[in-house]
Amino acid sequence: MIVWLKQLRAAFGISFLWIICLVYFIQGFKSFVWTAVSYQLKDRLNLSPSASQLVYSVAFFPWSIKPLYGILSDCIPIRGRKRIPYLIISTILSLFPWLILGLKDSMRSSSGPFMILLTMQNLGSAMADVVVDAMIAEAVRCEWASFAGDLQSVSWFAMAFGGLCGSLIGGFALTNLRIETIFLLFSVLPAMQLLSCGLVEEDSFGVKVLPELGDSRHSYREDRNGSISYSDDLSVRSRTTRRKRSRKNREKQKFIRTRSETRQNNCFLAALWFQSLKSAVYSLFHAFRQPIILRYVFEEMNALLSN
Average pLDDT, stretch 133-144? 78
Q: Where are any strands of DSSP class E within the chain?
A: 202-203, 206-207, 218-222, 228-232
Average pLDDT, stretch 249-271? 59
For 106-121, the pLDDT digits (tens) are: 898 888 999 999 999 9
Helix (H) or strand (E) holding 266: helix 262-288
Asked if the structure places residue 238 within a domain, the reply is: no
Asked if the structure places residue 280 within a domain, the reply is: yes
Mean pLDDT (the chain) is 77
For 51-80, the pLDDT digits (tens) are: 999 999 999 999 999 989 988 888 888 888
Least confidently predicted of 89-103, 225-239, 272-286: 225-239
Helix (H) or strand (E) holding 136: helix 111-141
Looking at residue 59, its pLDDT comes to: 93
How far is residue 107's CA from residue 134's CA, in Å, rounded to a whole number?
34
Asked if the structure places residue 297 within a domain, the reply is: yes
Q: What is the CATH number of the domain that holds 10?
A: 1.20.1250.20
Same domain, 64 and 180: yes
Closest CA to 83 of 124, 128, 122: 128
Same domain, 172 and 260: no
Is pLDDT at 223 greater than 50 in this prediction? Answer: no
Beta carbons within 8 Å of 119's beta carbon, 6+ residues apart? 58, 59, 61, 62
Beta carbons within 8 Å of 42's beta carbon, 6+ residues apart? 52
